[in-house]
Structure 1
Amino acid sequence: MKYRTILIALLAVALVFSSCAKKEEAPEVMAPTFKVGLVTDLGGIDDKSFNQGTWEGIVRFAQEKGLVKGTDIKYLQSAAEADYVPNLSTFADEKLDLIVAPGFLFEKAMGEVADKYPNQKLLVIDTVVQKPNVVSAVFAEHEGSFLVGVVAGLKAKADGKSVLGFIGGMQFPLIEKFQAGFEQGVKAVFPTAKILVDYAGDFGAPDKGQAIAQKQFNAGAYIIFHAAGGTGNGMIKEAKERSEKGDVRWAIGVDKDQYTDGMYGDKSAVLTSMMKRVDVAAHDVAQMALDGQFPGGQVLVFSLKNNGVGVPDSNPNLSADIMTIVKEYATKIASGELVVSEIPAK
């Protein structure tokens, strides 16, 4: 009996140690505490372009990490440029782990806030701010625009049309990169095509975009590519309305896949889009910050080589033959065999 009692006691001790060991082997995994804030430019969070695309990248990051929208990730909308510094400062005062600002218009405000909050991690998209706590994400817009130029040239040529159009928001080197790439892409496959070019002087005026589109379509343009943010949505609206009436015209979207924006019935007036993967930039830099590898002070370039620009994977309005040629050009550009100029032809 004595030995039996000792044996039972030893078994009990062994079970206790076994239980403890198992607990140590499988510690409870806690969701990361990480907060990201987005400050929009004037277009608003649902601009179907830059702000929306950036926010979608942040939302995807949050979903992957189990973060809560409205608590761990949130945004402030700017009604005027005067709101940029106050909105950025609001998030900095909350000590968010990363603050994101999409658009070149943030350049001055971002520099000011970076100086005021030197320990705050900041991401600015589409411009360069040389501060040690700021990551600048820029894009090879001319490369992606070359590809949609190839699309436009091939589509127009196949359909017996010879006039194309480009609408920019404001005219300065960044937007001229879109024009330059588009023109080179068109001329690579359709050297005799005519390209109409207009600048709206505004990124948030759909009415202006529609008026310019009316002018270009009336002048014979078959396809128009825009790099005009919200202003360009007016061009898509005009293409859609004409196509609905049987006067088929095409729009090429920008920044994100705008196919659904051109829907009428079961069709879309958006031929393809030049995707500027602002979502990838926001997502990837948030991941770097979470991993403790925030590349402060660096300029990250998103190009065809790293899938930072390009056309959508799905292009219902394009033939397989056109997409094959587009992919061939994309490979040449990504490899460096073909170099696209950033400056429009004069």
Structure 2
Amino acid sequence: MARIPLNDLQLEILTWIRDGTPDGVYEDYRPRIVARALHNRGLVDVSGHGKNWRATLTTGGAYHLEHGDYPPSDDDPAATSAPRPRPTARTKPAPASKAVAERKPRKPPRVGPTDAMMNTLTAAEDHRIEVEYGQVQRYRQLALTAGRFKKIPDGMQVTVSSDYPTRTAHVTLELLPEWRTRTLDPIPVPGALRGPSDVIKALGTRDDLDIRAAEKNRALRLVEALVVEARHREYTVVAIPAPRKDRWGYVQRTEENTGHIKITLGPDEYRLSIYQLTEKVEHVATKSELARAVRGYALPKWDYIPTGRLGIRIDNRGVTFWGDSWTDRDDQPLDDALPQILQELELTRPGVSGELLTGVRPLFPTTGGERSRSARPRSG
């Protein structure tokens, strides 16, 4: 019986599993749902749940990626045909069956959606194609996949732009802008806090800095490096006062006390926070919690455990170039991202960002269907 061919998304997920299910490609559970369907077809093996979820390619899955079709099965008439009788001196060999003689050549490997997009962009005269407006999110995901698996030529990028009033969208293969290729000077991080700035002294006394003692010193040293470099560039840097607590002990957060430090570049101010990354682990109930559960109390499902990794984010809303948050990564510590953080602030300044917004998408749409740079708080 003929088996249903894979659609574009299933082929994309099958390729993703072949490459080891790398992080950062998908932001939802859709790959796991598709992987389960591929598991039912014998193309992948799926095991585990939650953090222990795993997916690996089977022999059949590898065959499908190489040949663009399922491997021959026992139900294939050609594969289950009776063996030909051994020729003897008195009998002539039986002629090959017509089905075997007329077997069609194998189909060429099927091109996945990411490769198809890149092939179309490369072949287009201006390396620009128009796509359906409703497919914008899909093509943005394909662009991320192309970058993740290094399918984009060196020195180039794939951007997806859309226009709400006309309901049009385009995908473009273009040269990287100058700010993407600029070599940034590293920002040195002090090995110890000797003679810290007033900003660090203020942060060190805050009891709402939700960072473990083991990582707090490094967090303050990272902030100190930003403060020193920003002031060297003649920017104004101040510590943001800690939020007050009400009479019941709850923190009252407002726009004025958001963030840990405030960096002012001309008329614009930017609020930055440093934080500690956590990982979600399944909660193990204690005896007292189990006793409470018997009386009808709900048990927490997850615990959030601090890791040794830190992050810095920009709390202002608006257009982003590199992004609005940076964290320790396996291939890059947060120390190396400090120059990019200051560059992000400089790129979003009025008069600078307007010339560089090609291919840059705001994080937050404004009313009226248009996407533009959101207003930032003004100092004074």
- Is TM > 0.5 for Structure 1 vs Structure 2? no
Q: TM-score, normalised on structure 2?
A: 0.23
Q: TM-score, normalised on structure 1?
A: 0.25
Larger Rg: 2
- More helix as a share of residues: 1
Greater length-normalized contact order (CA 8 Å, ≥ 6 residues apart): 1
